[in-house]
Amino acid sequence: MARASWRERIETARLARVATARSRIRRTVTHRDGARCVVDGRELLNFCSNDYLGLSQHYAVVGALQDAASREGAGGLGSHLVCGHHTLHDQLEKELADWLGTPRALLFGSGYLANLAVVQAVLGDEDVCVQDRLNHASLIDAARLAGCRLRRYPHNDPEGAIRQLRGMPDGVAMLATDGVFSMDGDIAPLRELALVARVQNALLYVDDAHGVGVVGPDGQGSVAEARLSVEQVPLQLATLGKALGGYGAAVLGDHALIEHLAETARPYLYTTALPPAQAAASLAAVKLARSEHWRREKLVELAARFRERARSAGLALLPSDTPIQPVMVGDDARALSMAAALERFGYWVAAIRPPTVPEGRARLRVTLSALHATADVDGLVEALLRARDRAEAEARIAAIHADSPV
């Protein structure tokens, strides 16, 4: 029997993406200046970045990176348990743990790696990981790679979570959820989920990549916003690459669990440590995030202004009070059309389509930053209306052509 052709497989997959308007194109940024950037030679106002607090270009953050790089070099040189663990890593872990009120923190190269590490190090073949259906792909992949049983419950449905846990009586159980959901912008019902986890003797793990720095007292995230302790949420994830403007991530929580990860988690053991200079930059960013409350206050004001203006104009929004403000479109091709129109008007907003979001839930993912001005938000809403009108006109013309006899 002839072996299947890998070339035919990838070509079939490519053609399917083209036919369903799901091709993905990488854009090239040649310069950033605050909320503005030059993309493929065109200056755009960026409304699709995760730089929520506007710290990625802050002079203190950049200065810390440059100073550390001049003294310590550009790379991490080895894994943390060989020769890569630097005093700057140690300082950053301690600062993060102090900020988020946990006993320990452990640095990782990315949030994706951190999620793979947590699930793989805690769960095995006979265990179960119960997850929100809209969790980030890294959590889904983590459970699949760990070999445990993966069960998913309807979005933000604690009763659905407890039903899934009740159906899996044997082995260790983990209940995993995003804190702030990256595509919808809403916040998980963490207090209810913590109760579910306690009743079902499950470990509650919260991926708070989009919450830390943005929500909660002093930006401590969704776990702190829900007033939950380490006993209730033994592990949580904080990213360094979103509100903190850098790169990498940290898992924080129970001392014994963090020590277990440090000694057994393959994505920690077998990869190079973050460059010390990057740790220095993130350390400076954490200190700014803790002290400059005006950045979060401005985000709240911008989100409220965007929602009020967008709803008044008839744009379809989801219930989100965070900097993530999805404008629902539904149709993949229409989302791409609106994103292209916005770019012509000078705004960069990403069109998000399946499989990143469920079928029929394509959207424009608007993200706000403390770098934006109120006039920027007002201009974006006006541009969204123009883009919507243009997309609707294009759809009417396409329908007429489709109905016309050949």
Tell me the binding residues for substrate. Answer: 24, 136, 356
Tell me the DSSP string of 285-341: HHHHHHH-THHHHHHHHHHHHHHHHHHHTT--B-S--SSEEEEEEE-HHHHHHHHHH
Annotated binding residues, written as ranges, equal: 24, 111-112, 136, 182, 210, 239, 356
Per residue in 50-59, is it b (16+ CB within 10 Å) or e — as a string? bbbbbbbebe
Annotated active-site residue 5? The verdict is no
What value, to the nearest 5°, has the Cα angle with vertex 88 and ends 83 and 94?
Answer: 110
Estimate to the nearest angstrom the gap between the alpha carbon of 112 and the chain centroid: 10
Of these residues, 56, 110, 138, 182, which one is catalytic? 182
Of these residues, 89, 242, 298, 372, which one is catalytic? 242
How far is it, in rounded angstroms, from Cα 155 to Cα 160? 9
Q: What single-letter amino acid sits at 212?
A: V
CB 130 within 8 A of CB 202: yes
CB 52 within 8 A of CB 299: yes
Annotated binding residues for pyridoxal 5'-phosphate, written as ranges, equal: 111-112, 182, 210, 239
> Please, which residues have CB within 8 angstroms of residue 132's CB and are 6 or more apart in sequence?
152, 153, 155, 156, 161, 176, 177, 178, 181, 188
What the block records as the tokens of 34 is 């605050």
How far is it, in rounded angstroms, from Cα 21 to Cα 24? 9
Of these residues, 86, 89, 210, 298, which one is catalytic? 210
Annotated active-site residue 94? The verdict is no
CB 337 within 8 A of CB 25: no
Annotated active-site residue 182? The verdict is yes
Any idea which residues carry the catalytic annotation?
Answer: 182, 210, 242
